[in-house]
Amino acid sequence: MEHHRSDPQGLWLPLITPFRDGALDEHSVRRIVKHYLAMPIDGLILGATTGEGLTLDEWEVEQLVSITSTAYVEVGKRLPLYVGLTGSDTRKVVGAVERMESWPIDGYLIACPYYSRPSQDGLLQHFSTLADSTVRPIIIYNIPYRTGVNLNNDTMMVLAERTNVVGVKDCCADPKQSFELLRHRPDNFAVLTGEDVAFYDALTFGADGGILASAHIQTQAFADVLNEWRHGNRKSALFDWHRLVDLPNLLFSEPSVASIKYWLWRLGLIASPEVRLPLTPVSKGLAHRIDREIERVTT
């Protein structure tokens, strides 16, 4: 497969992983991949946080990649395809990257090590080692409120000098840090927000787009905000965002994977809203709110 080496831009989707009766639901995977290939998205990421990657066996991730790449061929369209990775043992993450080198993917979204809270030097060496282990592009995923460690801008700038460290999914939750990163980042280093509710704000700061779980729902509306902004239609972009911003608030009122799966199940795009423990299904209250919102937007 020809790798997409250009900077990641636009609207990327961290795809959910459908399950049924405890197993990967291949039919639903195929259905949603084809569904989103018809939507205005710019890239797909499999097995990341929204894809419940920490609960997936490696063979299941490989199966996801195989189904997705086959769907690309069947539809006659392909987007950049990345796999989500994380881990607190650099050796094991390197091993995973090396095993995936023969897979038909374009790159990796790699989160900072969780729980161990390494120093900035440890983070630098971790990502440098990973970058040395592959020629494929790497997007760093900086989300300290999940991992317990924040990759600061000084360290990010050093890593950005590497040709295959092409960008960051920025969830640092510090607007000042995000703004300073956008001010000082080198050319050809992309910043994509992963904070769904802050999508519009990130665009105003100069972000290149977003990797947004909420874009599973009302995908076109998220793309419209981005396109209006890109074409200088700031007033229209803000108007569209005002109509859309309550969606991520609703989806993230409980762990978002379950809410997104419930919504897609109600639309008939996946056969089951099942999630894997320790995640649990949406509460009855949230299910009712989602049902009402589906009725509102479809009538």
For residues 94 and 129, is the Cβ–Cβ distance under 8 A?
A: yes
**141 in catalytic set:** yes
Residue with tokens 């949406």: 282
- Residues 72, 169, 200, 262: which is the catalytic one? 169
**200 in catalytic set:** no
- Residues 36, 72, 82, 141: which is the catalytic one? 141
E-strand stretches of the chain: 10-14, 19-20, 23-24, 43-46, 81-85, 107-111, 138-142, 165-170, 190-193, 209-211
Burial 189-212 (b: 16+ CB within 10 A, else e): bbbbbbbbbbbbebbebebbbbbb
CA distance 127 to 133: 10
In the numeric block, which tokens belong to residue 189? 């280093």
Residues taking part in catalysis: 141, 169
